[in-house]
Structures are given as C-alpha cells and as structure tokens.
Amino acid sequence: MTAQQEETTADTTALAERAMRGLTLEQKVGQLFVADVSGKSADEVHPANQARYGVGTPAEVVKRYHVGGVIYFNNPQIDNVDNPQQVARLSNGLQRAALGTAPHIPLIISVDQEGGRVTRIADQATEYPSMMAIGAGRRTADAEQLSAINGRELRAMGIAQNFAPSADVNSNPVNPIIGSRSFSADPALASEMVAASVDGYQRGGRATETVSTSAKHFPGHGDTKDDSHHGLPVIERTEAQWRAIDLPPFQAAIKAGADSVMTAHISVPSLDPSGDPATLSKPIMSGLLRGELGYRGVVVTDSLQMKGVRDMYPDAEIPVRALEAGVDQMLMPPNLQVAMRGVLDAVASGRLTEDRINESVIRILKLKLKRGILAKPLVDERAVSRKVGTQANRAAVQQITDRTVTLLRDDKKSLPLKGSPSVLVTGWDRPEYPGYPAAPVPALAKALGSKATALPTGTAPNADQIAKAVAAAGSADVVVVLTSGLPASASQRNLLQALLNTGKPVVAVGVQEPYDPGAVTAAPTWLVTYDWRAVTMTSLAKVLRGEIAPQGKLPVNVPVAGEPTKILYPFGHGLSW
C-alpha cells in the first residue's frame, strides 16, 4: 500500500468512526444485516412483511430494525422489481426511511445482477450474457466494459452493491449451482476476468456512478455436485488442489480492490476439519481470508436462509458464529429479530465484545463512504431512462455477446444456413414469470425472421410434445433444437434423438451450461451459448444466418456425460469459418 493509499484509508476510517458515534448497540447490530423486504414501493403494505417482520411496509422494516442494507429480488415472494423507474423510486423511498430514523445512516442497497440466468432486473434494462459467455469471448476488456455498464445502470436505480462477479472456478461439470455463473474452469482465465470485472464495477466512473463488487463464493464453490440452497456440500479437494485451482481468482479480486467478498456455505475439510460451513469457519474466514490473504474489506455471508448454513446450528446462533469467524455483513437472515437478538445476547454474555461489533460496522460504513452513499444516497428518478437500458448500452453489450457463441462441431457443414430456409426452432424453453423477457425459443425464432417458427417443448417434453415437434420438422428445411441440462434430462435427449431420426438437418444448441454436447454425441452440429437471454439469442441468430462467424472458445472442458475424464471437446476448442 502506498503512502497516499494509507492516508486515504486513515481518513476514511476516521470518517467511519465519526459516523458510528452516538449509535446504540442495537443500531450498530442493525447495520450488520441486509434484509429482503417484500413490495415494489417503500410504502406498499405486503403480507410477507407482516408475517416476517411484524410490520406492513418495506419502509417500516428499515425503521424498526435499523438495517444497514436491503437486497432486491424479482421473485413472487419478495417482488421488488417491475422496471428501472420503479426500482429507483423504491430505492429513494427506502433511503428516506433510513435517513428519517435514528441513526440516520443511508442503506447500502444490493442485488444479484450477474448476467445470464442470475438477473434480477430485466425489463427495460440492458441484458447481459453470463460470465461464462464472457470467458468464452476471452477479452478482459469485454468483462470490464460490461461490468462498467451494469454498474452505472444499477447505480442509476439506487443500487450500490452488486453481488458479483463469481470468482468460483467451475471445475465440476455436474455443479448444480455455479456452472455458467463462473467465467471458466481454468484458474488463470477466471482470475483475469474477475480482476477486469472488479475494475469495471468499481472504477467505471465517479464514486456515485460505481457499485461495490462482491467476489463470491469464498473459498470456492466450483467443485461441488450439491446445491448449498438445499444442504451442505462437502468439497474434497486437498489444500494443495485448493491453492492451485480455487484460490487464484480470489487473490486476483483482492488485488484488484474488491469492496467485499461473499462466503460459501460449503464444508472444506482440508481447510477446516471441523465440518463447519466456511461462512462460520474461523480458520477459513480469519485464518485464510483475513490473515494469509490480508483482506481488509467487507466479508458478507451468502443468504442465511440457505440450508447449507442452517443444518448445523439454530438461527440465533448462526450470526454469532459468523461474527466470531470474521464476517461483517449478514445477508437475508430467515428471522431478522431472532438473528439480531442472538448477537445482542452474545454481547451481553461477553461471548462477543462491542469492539468486535464496531470493527464490522466501521468496515461497512467505510464501504458506504467509498461509494459515496453517505454523501449522496438518493438518485434522480427523472434521469433513469437516460441512463438505464439505453441504445448505446444495449449496442455495446450486443457487440460483446456477438463474440461469445461457440461452435463445437459441424460435421455436415450445415452452418451458416444456406439461402433462405424455413426453420423450426424447438426444444427447451424456461417457464415464464414476471420480470423475465421472452423465453429463448420464441426469442430466437423472432431474431431469425419471418421464415422461422417457434415450437417450445418446455423443460421436460412428453411423448405428445415430441411427436408434435417431429411432425413440425416435416415441413421445415432446418431444425434448431435448444437444450439445457441435457445430461440429466432423458426427455430432452429423446426429443433431440427423435428429430435427428427425421433425417432433416438438425442444429443442436446448448443454451445454458456448455456440457450438453457430451450427452448426445450423435448430433452432427453443436453450438453452445452459455445462457438463453434474448441478447444471446440475437447473437446466435447472427451466427446461424452467417452474419457473423462464431468466435467463442470453450472456457471449460466438455466431457462425455457420465465420464468426466473422457474429454470430448477440450478447453480452448471452438470452430469458425
């Protein structure tokens, strides 16, 4: 650290300590928590708030519990997102609630806006491809530019913390939770992309135009076959393997100055033989992250509603153990009152000291100072349409996405499509629900033009749906079949095989994880896109029509399904014309 950086850090620490003066212990404890509140406006009475918090509106939750932050979701239970203008109004309403109530400290408002399948704000905002797609494009400048655009749009909506990028190295093809959320299975490529992404988010403009990043999920969630939402995964890597594979992207994020690091609800016996989830592990959080890596920023838990952290201890005990481990910010406790009371009781008993609470509060306040939240917590709602989802932003991201589509195989030289063929687009299509744009099958058909027909078959086609797709193929010149999760979906494999049996030219496309081609090796043409959003389907259509050549290179190895050591398409593979 340079002398100037040390001086700046000392000044920020002094300002944070000043902001903390006069806070009661209860108010300090409130600053440690990031709550999920239900409703699309600060004053909306929502039954979920009444059931969980004993008050009706999001603003009342902020006032009663003095929380340090709020996180937005677009699911039906929490339902915070309609469009960018509405999100900005919600943000301002929540900030006014925080400012109007002691301790008068603004919130840090956060979201998971990774791109690809983890996108919370889609309607009227710029869409982003997945991080693995960016890894396939191989350009760190693209990762930086995309993150800068995403950060500016989020900040215009009043969001100052994005829980991204994923620093996980997705080395396990059957990983059910990370997959295309990771840049790569290669530690070096992942590290380069993570560092570039952190730079884009945090240095993409003035403090009030940038967002805090959170490199996740430390110490690395890439080698699991289990989902930490539903249980506690155990990572069997040796310490040497962990240091070689999982550690480098987190080192890169820390070197790049990531404002926060998010924990993983995983057990890594080689790093801590106790069996505790990493979130609650002092050897991992304090010993490795704080001690060996020298990390001084905010450490935030993954959601405390996940079973991976709730299986071993009661809800009142979890935040206490997290603080003992070295964590600062606690995300989405299932019962906020119980969680806060657990911490307060631990201080009263002497198990935790108030000085320990102060350490975390100061780190959180320094983050708020760094991002200009204390100085300027409100956003200009009238400016949202000029900053979010703009033509320039969409064009820039489309150009980036155009470089990501990866052609793995084209034995019969079916691509690009010749002439002006009639095209049946069929196969996997995600369920529709509020906040998401058109699903991939109709989005691709629309992008291909008037001679393309959409016939979605859902996530698990039955015999009748397969028969309809086969019949529709009879009147098409070319069939494009979208797949997702093919190794685990016999019904999707049956659909693809039935269409191959028609004798029509079939183009198979894995539209989420790139491992689908290992499940049906008989398909003569395979592409992968790493996500299914409309921006990616537009790029896919350009490749199919021959407007652009496929440029993506695999950022992972693709094995034969069920045979992880039998590599069908190696890291770096990608055809073009």
Determine the Cα–Cα distance for residues 11 and 29; give it in Å rounded to an integer.
Answer: 24
Determine the Cα–Cα distance for residues 210 and 155; give it in Å rounded to an integer.
Answer: 6
Provide the angle, in degrees to the nearest 10, between the axes of the packed helices 354-370 and 336-349: 130
Q: Which two tokens stand for residue 348?
A: 């009263």
* 311 in catalytic set: no
Q: Which two tokens stand for residue 23?
A: 């806070």
Q: What is the b/e burial string over 403-423, where b = at least 16 CB atoms within 10 angstroms of the residue's CB? A: bbbbbbbbeeeebbbeeeeeb
Cis peptide before 416 (omega within 30 of 0): yes
Rounded to the nearest 5°, which phi and psi values hold at 298?
-80, 130
Q: Is 32 exposed, middle or buried (0-12, 13-18, 19+ CB in 10 A)?
A: buried
180 neighbors 513 (Cβ within 8 angstroms): yes
* 229 in catalytic set: yes
Per DSSP, the three-state class of 68 is coil
Per DSSP, the three-state class of 555 is coil
Catalytic, out of 36, 302, 516, 531: 302
Per-residue DSSP letter, 102: T
Tell me the chain's radius of gyration from C-alpha atoms.
24
Q: What is the b/e burial string over 124-147, where b = at least 16 CB atoms within 10 angstroms of the residue's CB? A: bbbbbbbbbbbbbbbbbebbbbbb
Determine the Cα–Cα distance for residues 507 and 452; give it in Å rounded to an integer.
Answer: 14
At 28, which amino acid appears? K
Please give the angle made by the CA atoms of 301, 306 and 312, to the nearest 5 degrees: 90
Per-residue DSSP letter, 450: T
Catalytic, out of 229, 315, 410, 477: 229
Element (H, E) at 525: strand 525-528
For the CA atoms of 475, 477, 478, 479, what is the dihedral angle to 10 degrees?
0
Per DSSP, the three-state class of 174 is coil
Determine the Cα–Cα distance for residues 332 and 304; give it in Å rounded to an integer.
Answer: 6
Determine the Cα–Cα distance for residues 145 and 149; give it in Å rounded to an integer.
Answer: 6
221 closest CA partner among 275, 274, 181: 181
Per DSSP, the three-state class of 481 is strand
Determine the Cα–Cα distance for residues 271 and 257; give it in Å rounded to an integer.
Answer: 24
Kind of pairing, strands 406-410 and 330-331?
unpaired
**Which residues are identified as catalytic?**
229, 302
